[in-house]
Amino acid sequence: MSSDQRFFDFLKERIGLDVASVGEAIIERAVRQRSLSLNAQTADQYWKQLLASTDEQQALIEAVIVPETWFFRYPESFATLGRLAVARLAEIKHMRALRILSLPCSTGEEPYSIAMALLDVGLAPHQFKVQGMDVSPLSVERARRGVYGKNSFRGQDIEFRDRHFTEQTDGYRIADRVREQVRLQVGNLLDPTLLANEPTYDFVFCRNLLIYFDQPTQKQVFEVLKGLTHVDGVLFIGPAEGSLLGRLGMRSIGVPQSFAFSRHAEPAPEPVFVPLPAPIPQRSAAPIPTRPRPFSTLSAQVVPIKPAPPQSDAADLLSQIATLANEGKSLEARAACERYLQSHPPAAQVFYWLGLLSDVAGSALEAQGYYRKALYLEPQHSQALMHLAALLESQGDVAGARRLQARAARSERKQ
């Protein structure tokens, strides 16, 4: 079954999915699977069945949305949440329970991680409540069941499993004391009435969702998220989404690897533009060194010109890098970046991803080096500008961070 714009448009309207963010092949495969399940012989036949059945519409959405999550993904986010929650309770003088929102909550690993993190820092059950929400009823039902396989426990630090889970024949069941802190429901961020009558939330987790939307939808969803977040609250996002929040009026709280943002306390003054050094990029196919160093200067030797690889191959590899990074597969994503640099001319986006991967791994200096390489190749690369600004701010270089933020803002206005 060939590409059919109708199905792309349907998913865009229903869940805001930008086909370019996942690739046409994934959607085509989902349509093909659903067509076979209904014995539809042509795209037209399946399209008619899709329009006639709300159950089938949800089934197609479920086929496209493949949950990729695990407990305590991006662990620094939860450590930061614990510290902020204790401070927030003191700030409001313990007059009410903290409200935390997780969306999309997928199969429950994130909202349950939030609850475990807060219980582990000493919060009592009456001091916080977590609300989890997802567009997928199937995922919400799995979250309510609260039984997880080994794939939900990744990384070396899984000590929490002994404290909060009971092993049984079909997996690990989460403890009732954790489950009781979390309320789960089906909901769509594109619904204008979403949580309309609910008070705002002290902390909102919305990670690795905005990257699947086009720019207008990103802004629309951001306004919803901003409305759901308390004016003094904190929004936790995915590692690739920081530049968007920076352009839309939020600022990193300055904790590396937490991917946590708050509203600007006041408009930043317009800084004097000071250009970054412009080193010459290293074009060797050798692996990029672990420790950052300036680009080595190329001599005036004549370099043989190799035929450029097909453009489609470059685009596919960039898409693969983004997918691996957003799934938390850092080693595979880094290897894909190195493969790209070995077979294609240097690209700002690849150096940006290497910077982001280094940032997530806690290698701040290495991350800065890669972000600056990206900015040498593409001086107005907005994502590299905002992530480098966040790094500088976390290290106390507020003036440097403001300069980069101003550059990013100017770049956004020109688009």
- Model confidence at 124, pLDDT cuts 50, 70, 90, reads very high
Is the pLDDT confidence value at 200 over 90? yes
- Model confidence at 148, pLDDT cuts 50, 70, 90, reads very high
CATH of span 75-263: 3.40.50.150
DSSP per residue, 166-214: EEETTEEEEPHHHHTTEEEEE--TT-TTTTTTSPPEEEEE--S-GGGS-
- Scan for tokens 């499993």, then name that residue: 161
| Dihedral pair phi/psi, residue 188, rounded to 5° | -125, 125
Between 257 and 37, name the one with better pLDDT.
Answer: 37
Mean pLDDT, rounded, for 20-32: 82
**Structural domain spans, the chain:** 5-64, 75-263, 311-414
Cα 134 from Cα 119, distance rounded (Å): 23
Determine whether domain 311-414 maps to CATH 1.25.40.10. Answer: yes
pLDDT of residue 258: 87
Average pLDDT of the chain to the nearest whole number: 81
| Dihedral pair phi/psi, residue 108, rounded to 5° | 105, -10
Q: How many CB atoms lie within 10 A of CB 196?
A: 8
Mean pLDDT, rounded, for 50-74: 85
Look at strands 98-102 and 201-205 and give their pairing.
Answer: parallel
- Scan for tokens 């495969």, then name that residue: 29
* pLDDT tens by residue, 351-395: 888 888 877 766 777 788 888 888 878 888 877 887 887 777 666
pLDDT of residue 140: 94
What 3-state class would DSSP assign to 230? strand
Cβ 243 vs Cβ 386: under 8 Å? yes
Cβ 349 vs Cβ 374: under 8 Å? yes
Cα 18 from Cα 290, distance rounded (Å): 35
pLDDT of residue 283: 40
The angle subtended at Cα 77 by Cα 400 and Cα 360, nearest 5°, is 60
Cβ 119 vs Cβ 181: under 8 Å? yes
Token pair recorded at residue 271 = 């800084």
Cross-strand pairs, 173: 147, 166
